[in-house]
A and B are shown apart, each in its own frame.
Chain A
Amino acid sequence: MNFSELVSRVSKSLSLGLLIVALGGCVSATVDEMTYNEPVAGIGESSVVILGRRHAPDYDTEFDFIECIGDHIHSGDPSIEVINEIAFINEFYPWFEPRTAPMQPQTIDRLLQLPPVADRFAEMKLEYMIWIDGKTIDTDSTGSMSCGIGPGVAGCFGFGTWGTESEYEATIWDFTDKVEVGRVSAATSGQNYMPAVVVPIPILAPVQGTACDSLGDQLLEYLSANH
């Protein structure tokens, strides 16, 4: 192999790599929104709690996804106080466990019959309770990769690809009127790649992050007076 052939091969490999990087960044997202009674002036000094649904047998809405949405909303409008999910669940134990969490906004009235629960809610000045239900999963994968190790030598060779899909729905409850005031859903998907020439290089599509941003933007638009 002469020098020009070597340069040609390297440039082809680089082109392929760049193509993969470009493809890896591609995530498609679909967002649906249906909301009512938007707080035009924002929520003022009231607070919002975002909670994940975890009663399904085969999945839990991820805690870090809930945290991501909370951070997104708070960073978009620092005046909105988003209560930490785990702290909220612990403070109200056992009324927001998977077994006992209210499924309908009307049932909150029954929780409020318990004086300590009612007092704690009053302290929090809770205005909206947002329930997120969904998950991120990896889908079909293809390709193969083999790795080897020897004294002083280790490496992998091959190529793998797999898909990732996220699907989440946020249900907004007006805590004052005990009614549902909106639903926002986000479905995203993307393809991940893992080429390996000695070292595997994962090129991951930010599928869950895009779902977080999409859902967070819609919720921010609903809750904030500045958006």
Chain B
Amino acid sequence: MGVASLASTIFDREPSVIGRWLLLLCLTLLGAGCASKQVVVEGKFPSPLLDPLPVTMGVIYPSAFAQHEFFDEAKGRAESDWLVKTGEAQVEFWDILLTGLFDEVVHIRDWETVQARSRDIDGVLIPAIAELQYTIPTHTNVKVYEIWMRYEFRLVDIGAIHQQEDGALSFNPEERIAQWPITAYGKTPTAFLQSDEEAVNLAAVVALRDAGAHFITTFGRTPDVAAWLNDIANRAATEAGGDSPVARQPESQAAAASISESEHTPPADASSAGTSSVSVADTPVDTSPIAKPDEAAGKPKVAGDESSETDSAGSVADVEASS
């Protein structure tokens, strides 16, 4: 007796109907192994526990950052396509972190903000995700999910921000105050009743937290940033005729941070653990056009950067440079 006819007897249906159901079921089960998996990273992020620096910091989140996602195409039938959207979580996390780190944070989304706040903004921070790698247990046979990210932070003077003819904001790369990389690593072990998606989300949240810890502990120690902070401190001291807390603050943060950074630092490169590489299109280091005034709030679009779309080939999209 065929399976379809046996089932038709049990379920009191025509064999042909049952056969179609079974065929559909088989195809579903076959397809389940190579179905794509999608994660929109979500998490609750704490505010940093520190005295904020007396600095008014402008922040621009390029669209490739605010809408960041990475896509990894399955390399075999046993694997799944992966689409992980980190953009919203990135913006939420860095907003909380920067708000705790600086006295005031100004989101620069258009030229009007630049003009209106140019007098009191001390500097403009532009984050970018330069590289992202991830592993899941099926890649490595190690029961750990990992995410590794490399950010490129650029600090520019507000005077270096210009408006292009099409309304997009840009800056001259040569006018930047500082540029430095921040690496971040997050891992989470396999757990009973935890899906791949939940584990990848958790690893991404851990990586974001690590990025924040790395940023806070190295911000004041980055030579160009330290010099910039000293300038602000000297300016404030001259105006106030006394010592400013600006210069002291990074030192106290670095004092606490240097304890652990020197003692143990998470792997600087996840490839040491056999991580498969997925490069993500994002604003490269010398990207200069930044934002158009007509973009949605919080997500300024990088001119020439339509690269928030995924890049399964692992290439880094070039973005046109200004001036």
Interface residues of A (CB under 8 A from B): 55, 57-60, 62, 90-95, 97-104, 107, 110-111, 113-117, 120, 150-152
Contacts and interface: CB of A to CB of B under 8 A. Distances in A.
Given A57-B273, A101-B260, A110-B256, A94 B144 contact: no
B253 interface: yes
Interface stretch (B3-11, B34-42, B168-176, B294-302): B3-11
A94 B51 contact: no
B260 to A, nearest CB: 4
17 contacts: A55-B266, A58-B142, A60-B188, A91-B49, A93-B48, A93-B212, A94-B48, A97-B209, A98-B210, A98-B266, A99-B261, A102-B259, A107-B259, A110-B256, A111-B256, A113-B255, A120-B49
Interface in B48-64: 48-51
A93 B260 contact: no
A91 B188 contact: no
B189 interface: yes
B57 to A, nearest CB: 18
A103 B264 contact: yes
Contacts of B48: 93-94
A204 to B, nearest CB: 11
Contacts of A152: 10
B252 A99 contact: no
Contacts of A151: 3, 6-7, 10
Given A99-B265, A152-B10, A110 B214 contact: no
B28 interface: no
Given A94-B212, A97-B209, A114-B253, A59 B189 contact: yes
B189 A93 contact: no
A59 B189 CA distance: 7
Interface of B: 3, 6-7, 10, 46-51, 142, 144, 187-189, 209-210, 212-214, 216-217, 252-253, 255-261, 263-267, 272-273
Contacts of B253: 114
Contacts of A94: 48-49, 209, 212-213, 216-217
Q: Is the interface of A mostly helix, strand, loop or mixed?
A: loop
B263 A103 contact: yes
Nearest to B9: A151
Contacts of A101: 260
Q: In the A-B complex, list the 10 residue pairs whose CB atoms are closest, starting with the nearest.
A: A94-B213, A107-B259, A93-B46, A90-B46, A100-B260, A97-B213, A103-B263, A151-B7, A55-B264, A111-B256
Contact of A60 (B7, B189, B212, B258): B189
Nearest to A103: B263
Contact of A114 (B6, B209, B252, B265): B252
Q: Is the interface of B mostly helix, strand, loop or mixed?
A: helix
A99 B266 contact: yes
A91 B46 contact: yes
Given A99-B261, A152-B10, 18 more contacts: A55-B264, A57-B267, A57-B272, A60-B189, A92-B49, A93-B47, A94-B48, A94-B49, A97-B213, A99-B260, A100-B257, A103-B263, A111-B259, A113-B252, A113-B255, A114-B51, A151-B6, A151-B7
A32 to B, nearest CB: 24
B46 A100 contact: no
Interface centre among B144, B189, B273 (most CB of A within 10 A): B189
Contacts of B261: 99-100
Contacts of B255: 110, 113
Interface centre among A55, A99, A111, A116 (most CB of B within 10 A): A99
Nearest to B8: A151
Nearest to B47: A93
Contact of B49 (A60, A62, A95, A98): A95
Contacts of B264: 55, 98-99, 103
A116 B256 CA distance: 12
Contacts of A110: 255-256, 258-259
B9 to A, nearest CB: 9
Contacts of B144: 58-59
Nearest to A97: B213
